[in-house]
């Protein structure tokens, strides 16, 4: 079976999901024009990342509830539990990411883990959508590729203020989305069996992201800037992300 582009359909599914992963790296581009972030600028970047993540999480929950409210709820609870366990495990180690060590490295690593887990659900979504037809699959791929750009922005907004180079931020942004092409093909092949599990994955990613925002990202932002400014940034970017997803 071949796609409209003359490729075997499995290759078409894989390449489509790979495009969505590579698009995440584009989120680092705006930071090419920002040489140095002040503490307030870093707080604003954290608030922006928090808002984008909250908006994405609400979108995931809405999509999951559409399929199964109970499975989505269980998935969200498991996502929160996963982060709690990961925090405890990382608390016994001193990880290093680039120039980061200690608490900053732990936060950055935890953030990358959350975004990578989130990408598993998106990879399954790509594969399942191709199971419904090539036109649907391409539409979902385009939507996810555009959706992934602000996710890359969120990752860079967290890592760049901590001294990570722009290219490294772009690399980790793409790396966090690699589960998408890895999961898309198996999901396409097992579409009937994978579809019922999708709400678990959507809820899991949403629960993990919300907990990460509330416990790790926002407290640091509030420590470095006025609470009103942070609240406005978080609220504004959350609404923008929700509208972005709605009209895609």
Q: 204 with 82: CB under 8 angstroms?
A: yes
Beta bridge partners of 2: 8
Q: And the tokens for 190?
A: 């097992």
Report the C-alpha dihedral over residues 242, 245, 247, 248, rounded to 10 degrees.
Answer: 170
Q: Is-contact 206 83, C-beta < 8 A?
A: no
Residue where the block lists tokens 């887990």: 117
CB-based contacts of 139, cutoff 8 Å, min separation 6: 129
Give the three-state DSSP class for 97.
Answer: strand
Taking 60 as the threshold, does the pLDDT of residue 92 lie above it?
no
Separation CA 247–CA 37 (nearest Å):
32
- 8 Å CB contact between 149 and 167: no
| Residue matched to tokens 């990460």 | 212
- Which residues lie below 8 Å from residue 138, measured CB to CB, with a gap of 6+? 16
123 contacts 221 by C-beta, under 8 angstroms? no
- Write the pLDDT tens digit of every residue in 18-75: 998 999 899 888 888 876 667 777 778 778 878 877 887 888 788 788 888 999 999 8
Kindly list the domain boundaries of the chain, sorted by start residue: 42-246
The mean pLDDT value of the chain amounts to 78
CA distance readout (Å), 140 to 17, 58, 126: 10, 18, 7
- Residue written as token pair 């109970």: 70
192 pLDDT band, cuts 50/70/90, is low
Which residue's structure tokens are 């705006």? 30
Q: Which two tokens stand for residue 93?
A: 């180690």
Global pTM reads 0.68
Q: Is the pLDDT of residue 136 over 70?
A: no
**What pLDDT does residue 221 have?**
79
């Amino acid at each position: 079976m071949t796609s409209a582009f003359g490729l075997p359909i499995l290759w078409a599914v894989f390449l489509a999901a790979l495009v969505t992963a590579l698009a995440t790296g584009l989120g680092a581009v705006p930071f090419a024009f920002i040489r140095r972030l002040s503490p307030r600028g870093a707080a604003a970047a954290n608030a922006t990342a928090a808002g984008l993540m909250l908006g994405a999480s609400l979108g995931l929950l809405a999509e999951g509830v559409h399929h199964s409210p109970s499975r989505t709820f269980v998935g969200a609870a498991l996502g929160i539990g996963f982060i709690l366990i990961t925090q405890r495990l990382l608390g016994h180690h001193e990880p290093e990411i680039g120039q980061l060590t200690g608490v900053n490295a732990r936060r950055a690593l935890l953030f990358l883990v959350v975004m990578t887990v989130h990408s598993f659900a998106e990879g399954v979504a790509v594969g399942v959508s191709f199971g419904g037809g090539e036109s649907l699959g391409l539409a979902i791929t385009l939507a996810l590729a555009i959706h992934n750009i602000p996710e890359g922005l969120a990752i860079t907004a967290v890592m760049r203020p901590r001294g990570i180079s722009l290219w490294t931020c772009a690399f980790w942004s793409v790396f966090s989305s690699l589960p998408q092409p890895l999961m898309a093909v198996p999901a396409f092949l097992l579409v009937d069996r994978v579809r019922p599990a999708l709400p678990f994955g959507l809820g899991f990613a949403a629960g993990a992201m919300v907990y990460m925002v509330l416990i790790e990202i926002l407290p640091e932002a509030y420590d470095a800037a006025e609470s009103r400014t942070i609240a406005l940034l978080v609220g504004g970017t959350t609404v923008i992300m929700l509208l972005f997803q709605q009209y895609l």
